[in-house]
DNA sequence: ACTAATCTTGACTTAAAAGTAAGGTATGCT
DNA sequence: AGCATACCTTACTTTTAAGTCAAGATTAGT
């Protein structure tokens, strides 16, 4: 359960674009330089983001990338989903071991955990927008901890099932 | 942001053991057979779990594995942490691109997201025990959705930062 | 129209995770 | 004591994700 390199770098590139004003744009090489990754790699990431409609590209001499929407309207849940190659559901189709289908198809206790977990993460991510990431660390920190505090208040002892 | 194969399979092996009564135990090959994975692979997973003190092994003819503690006292957060090679923190040390240190060291908007996200996941996982996974799907499903519902109630519009 | 700058796209290479194999060590049974 | 069972551990192979490269396509300016 961790954030992949592609998710991390892709998100960083978006944050760079979020810093710009509406008319500005950044070229691939400039983004790559600022993030300390190769131009080729940045190109791949931006292409993914472009295909998903999160950024807009302009070709030619004065070209570059900019956000397709205001940063305040781009939620991290969407970003992660796009960068994660969208292998969201269909979990029980993979990881089947040697067998053809999941051994736990009938009454599987793990499936809901995997799925529920995913929902929780997406939910938390949907509360944070790119615009917030542009601000100081503190603001984001506050938002996420607000969520967390609520969680711990929920079930102090554990489930009752 | 996804569950690795090792996490998934390791968790499954634990669930198998959680089904046993106190005096019973399962051999490697039996666990492997039930989960549809190779004996070698199961051996590796169980070794990790054993090293972490989650399961207990008995050698010799009548040997096998059993849980080191009651299933109701083993939280998924612990399980995942163990199976994930414990690369929990130290995130800004990796993913630095070509540069020596994280480009966002000074005022990084991404760091708190990564960290906060991790906390949220751990928090959610710590509310579910192995014992709950042994029950029906419904019970686990209920527990996780309880958490989720609370989250969405928290911030209907998005952050204010 | 030409040229330089820039994005686009698919194939290739490299690094990391997952899985496998084989030899070692401990235990119980005869 | 000796053999069979079963876990333990390290090293190796395979697979998959990440990253790179190079040729193609598009636009702005001259």
pLDDT in tens, B92-111: 555 444 444 454 444 566 77
- Position with higher pLDDT, A161 vs A7: A7
| pLDDT tens per residue, range B97-155 | 444 445 444 456 677 778 878 888 888 899 889 998 887 666 767 777 776 666 555 54
From chain B, the residues in CB contact with A154 under 8 A are 127, 146-147, 150
Going by pLDDT thresholds of 50, 70 and 90, the confidence category of residue B77 is very high
Q: How confident is the model over B12-24, as pLDDT tens digits?
A: 999 999 999 989 9
pLDDT in the model for residue B91? 56
| B90 CB burial (10 A radius; 0-12, 13-18, 19+) | exposed
Report the pLDDT value the prediction gives residue A161, as an integer from 0 to 100.
36
Q: Is the pLDDT of residue A148 over 60?
A: yes
Could you tell me the pLDDT band of residue B157, with boundaries at 50, 70 and 90?
very low
Q: Are B50 and B83 in contact (CB under 8 A)?
A: no
A136: DSSP letter: -
Q: Specify the nucleotide whose C1' lies closest to residue A98 (CA).
A: C19
Residue B58: phi and psi, rounded to 5, are: -120, 130
Which residue of A87, A137, A151 is in closest CB contact with B123?
Answer: A151
Evaluate if residue A80 carries a pLDDT over 50: yes
B 29-88 residues inside an 8 A Cβ radius of A:
34-38, 76, 80, 84, 87
Number of neighbours of residue B70 by Cβ within 10 angstroms: 12
pLDDT tens for A6-59 read 999 999 999 999 999 989 999 999 999 998 899 999 999 999 999 999 999 999
Q: Is the pLDDT of residue A143 over 80?
A: no
* pLDDT the model gives residue A100: 46
What integer is the mean pLDDT of B42-65?
96
Position A61 scores a pLDDT of 92
CA B28 centroid distance within chain = 20
Q: How far is the CA of A141 from the C1' of D28 (A)?
A: 43
CA of B27 to nearest chain A CA: how many angstroms apart? 18
Q: Which residue has the higher pLDDT, A83 or B117?
A: A83
- The model's pTM is 0.82
Q: For chain B, what is the HEC assignment?
A: CECCHHHHHHHHHHHHHHCCCCCCCECHHHHHHHHCCCHHHHHHHHHHHHHCCCEEEECCCCCEEEECCCHHHCEHHHHHHHHCCCCCCCCCCCCCCCCCCCCCCCCCCCHHHHHHHHHHHHHHHCCCEHHHHHCCHHHHHHHHHHHHHHHHHHCCCCCCC
Q: B87: pLDDT confidence band, cut at 50, 70 and 90?
A: low
CB distance from A90 to chain B under 8 Å? no
Q: Quick one: fold of B5-86+127-154?
A: Arc Repressor Mutant, subunit A (1.10.10)
Nearest chain B Cα to A34, which residue? B103
pLDDT, mean of residues A78-96: 68
pLDDT of residue B136: 67
C28 C1' to B42 CA distance, Å: 24
Task: Please answer yes or no on whether A159 and B137 come within 8 Å at the CB atom.
Answer: no
Q: How high does pLDDT run on average in chain B?
A: 80
- The stretch B49-67 carries a mean pLDDT of 95
Q: Which helix (H) or strand (E) holds A131?
A: helix A130-134
Contact map slice: B 120-159 vs A, CB within 8 A = 120-121, 123-125, 127-129, 132-148, 150-152, 154-155, 158-159
d(CA A67, CA B84): 34
* Beta carbons of A138 and A145 less than 8 angstroms apart: no
What pLDDT, on a 0 to 100 scale, did the predictor assign at position B73? Answer: 96
Residue with tokens 């390791």: B10
> Closest approach of chain B CAs to the CA of A24, in angstroms?
21
What angle is formed at CA B67 by the lines to CA B22 and CA B8, rounded to 5 degrees? 135
The answer to whether B10 CB is within 7 Å of strand D is no
Nearest residue, CB atoms, A127 vs list B1, B4, B159: B159
* Residue among A3, A119, A134 minimizing CB distance to B148: A119
pLDDT-derived band at A86 (thresholds 50, 70, 90) equals low
Q: Which residue has the tokens 């302009």?
A: A58
């Amino acid at each position: 359960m961790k954030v992949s390199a592609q998710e991390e770098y892709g998100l960083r590139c978006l944050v760079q674009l979020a810093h710009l004003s509406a008319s500005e744009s950044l070229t691939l090489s400039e983004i790559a330089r600022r993030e300390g990754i190769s131009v080729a790699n940045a190109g791949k990431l931006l292409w993914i983001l472009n295909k998903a409609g999160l950024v807009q590209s302009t070709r030619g001499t004065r070209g570059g990338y900019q956000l397709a929407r205001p940063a305040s309207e781009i939620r991290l849940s969407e970003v992660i989903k796009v960068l994660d190659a969208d292998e969201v559901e269909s979990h029980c189709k993979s990881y089947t071991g040697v067998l053809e289908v999941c051994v736990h198809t009938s009454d599987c206790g793990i499936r809901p955990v995997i799925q529920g977990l995913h929902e929780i993460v997406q939910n938390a991510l949907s509360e944070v927008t790119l615009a917030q990431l542009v601000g100081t660390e503190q603001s984001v920190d506050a938002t996420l901890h607000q969520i967390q505090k609520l969680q711990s208040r929920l079930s102090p002892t554990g489930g009752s099932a």
